[in-house]
Structure 1
């Protein structure tokens, strides 16, 4: 029987390496893997072209478009990108900011207000530190050059906020150093961090803070998931379980390889100490897929999106993902 040809686009992640190399092959599928390094470019291309049958996608955009009824994709509960975002909240010390609550009423730069990284930064600041963000002026733009951060297809917000587009000739990083914004959040750290002594992290001990946050909440913030073009899935619904099994096998393969102590696989000097700490914190699978294993994180993401007027209602998690039995 001839295999179904599918074209997949995703970042060059270790958990996808076995799929990219062909070591793992999804049953019944001839999978072509295209590597795209810049997530925003991939998301924008995905929403505006028919180039890929399945791909990595912003979780917040998938949720928002699903609720709005404008989503041409369905999703697998496979999460290529999970990132704690405490370390991505930075500020200029000359602004007088000393504690998270000092962010109230400030001018804060963000690549995209609706991006998953910004959603998690805002939600965590409000929930864990009681930060009042209601009077913040959000300055939206590219972190490293003038202009915008991509051309997203997220639905419009359902209530107005204080949101400005950066129309200057400066990047958000430059605006932060010039004192024209007070802080930045999102998926990127400002270029002055570690170079300009005035640019610092809100949480310099972020590793300790993030571990405590996980132990308290069981949340590992999800940035991206994997979507399948709806027309492809509806014609071939069997591919969901085949692909999910392959993604699981690829992830498991790399986790085993990272733990092999005969020859260290990556350039992290304390890799094995890190692995021990990760196991003590997360258990034997530090990067689980599936709805149940990620329910606290997914539920909180939906809560934050509703609170931030990104969605009109809270969908059930079953609405957001196709059934893969996990």
Structure 2
């Protein structure tokens, strides 16, 4: 049973629990963790894999054998990831160029959703550039999105002024000129989460259909072990940073699926209950076993 998890504490807990449940788990160390997604989604080359929430939705929409283990390994605010160097603000996105690593990158999906829902931006009136393809085979960028020339990178294009705005999380360059396009972005993000009742989830845990069939006891044991780690580390804030369980993740998944569909990230609507039902059926458990 092969596992890819970015966090050391979650990996240790999952390995120990799966071993105790009778499996022979092996951690595959891939950094950054998103580079494991393509092999997992398209070839099931590992059994349990940390995945971006939008990758899960795309995989389901494209008929890939991917199931959701409802654990949040990374949740964070996102409004601050839309950045600019000049005097532009979020109100100036229409008519200007915006770079994002990949059209299906979860951070980009969240930010574009905020742009349309909170700021009334028509996404098709901006000049979008992507730098990578999708993790899910069969997914393509919309016709109104341009791919950057091979070998170019978003941080360099942004710092050298070839794009006016960038959507960047971990890859944000350190430069005193960089500022958020949304004024008071962190406060705006915190208020958005309070209003919605959930944080914008980035990474969750996926399992393959084959793993559910062959290693169900170990998968469930790993879920319980990781759930204990995540719930023990919650800070007691108004909105959990690491929601666990199907019901706790419903809001984030439903909103992300709606955003992704309207942005042409998904070829069809994905209903959250489809994920719940497929996972529970494969593991042979009721939704309540996984926080449903």
TM-score (norm 2): 0.84
Taking a change above 3 Å as real, the CA distance of residues 171 and 208 of structure 1, as seen in their structure-2 partners, is same
Work out the CA distance in 1 between the residues paired with 2:147 and 2:250.
Answer: 34
Taking a change above 3 Å as real, the CA distance of residues 65 and 9 of structure 1, as seen in their structure-2 partners, is same
2:88 to 93, 97, 100: 97
2:130 touches 2:145 (CA, 8 Å); kept in 1? Answer: yes
Taking a change above 3 Å as real, the CA distance of residues 296 and 76 of structure 1, as seen in their structure-2 partners, is same
More helix, by proportion: 2
- SS of 1:139's partner is strand
Work out the CA distance in 1 between the residues paired with 2:91 and 2:15.
Answer: 47
2:4 touches 2:30 (CA, 8 Å); kept in 1? Answer: yes
The reply to whether residue 121 of structure 1 matches residue 111 of structure 2 is yes
Consecutive unaligned residues in structure 1, runs of 5 or more: 1-5, 142-148, 257-274
Taking a change above 3 Å as real, the CA distance of residues 40 and 132 of structure 1, as seen in their structure-2 partners, is same
Q: How does 1:139-288 map to 2 (within 5 A)?
A: 139-141=129-131, 149=132, 152-157=135-140, 160-167=142-149, 170-191=152-173, 193=174, 195-197=175-177, 199-203=178-182, 205-253=184-232, 255=233, 275=235, 279-282=236-239, 286-288=241-243
**Residue 38 of structure 1 aligns with which residue?**
32
- SS of 2:68's partner is strand
The reply to whether residue 290 of structure 1 matches residue 245 of structure 2 is yes
2:71 touches 2:244 (CA, 8 Å); kept in 1? Answer: yes
Work out the CA distance in 1 between the residues paired with 2:37 and 2:112.
Answer: 22
The reply to whether residue 307 of structure 1 matches residue 276 of structure 2 is no
1:88 touches 1:188 (CA, 8 Å); kept in 2? Answer: no
1:74 touches 1:227 (CA, 8 Å); kept in 2? Answer: yes
> Once the two structures are superposed, what CA deviation does each residue of 1:82-121 show, in whole Å capped at 9, x if it has no partner?
222111111120xx513x1211122111100111111001
**Residue 284 of structure 2 aligns with which residue?**
none
Residue 48 (structure 1) shift: 5.2
Work out the CA distance in 1 between the residues paired with 2:196 and 2:20.
Answer: 34
2:61 to 58, 64, 67: 67
> Larger Rg: 1 or 2?
1
Taking a change above 3 Å as real, the CA distance of residues 151 and 214 of structure 1, as seen in their structure-2 partners, is closer
Taking a change above 3 Å as real, the CA distance of residues 137 and 8 of structure 1, as seen in their structure-2 partners, is same
TM-score (norm 1): 0.76
1:12 touches 1:35 (CA, 8 Å); kept in 2? Answer: no
1:79 touches 1:225 (CA, 8 Å); kept in 2? Answer: yes
Q: How does 1:6-85 map to 2 (within 5 A)?
A: 6-12=1-7, 14=9, 16=10, 18-19=12-13, 22=16, 27-47=21-41, 49-69=43-63, 71-85=64-78
**Residue 283 of structure 2 aligns with which residue?**
none
Work out the CA distance in 2 between the residues paired with 1:160 and 1:136.
Answer: 13
- SS of 1:305's partner is helix
- SS of 1:315's partner is coil
Taking a change above 3 Å as real, the CA distance of residues 243 and 280 of structure 1, as seen in their structure-2 partners, is closer
Residue 66 (structure 1) shift: 1.0
1:13 touches 1:80 (CA, 8 Å); kept in 2? Answer: no
Consecutive unaligned residues in structure 2, runs of 5 or more: 281-286
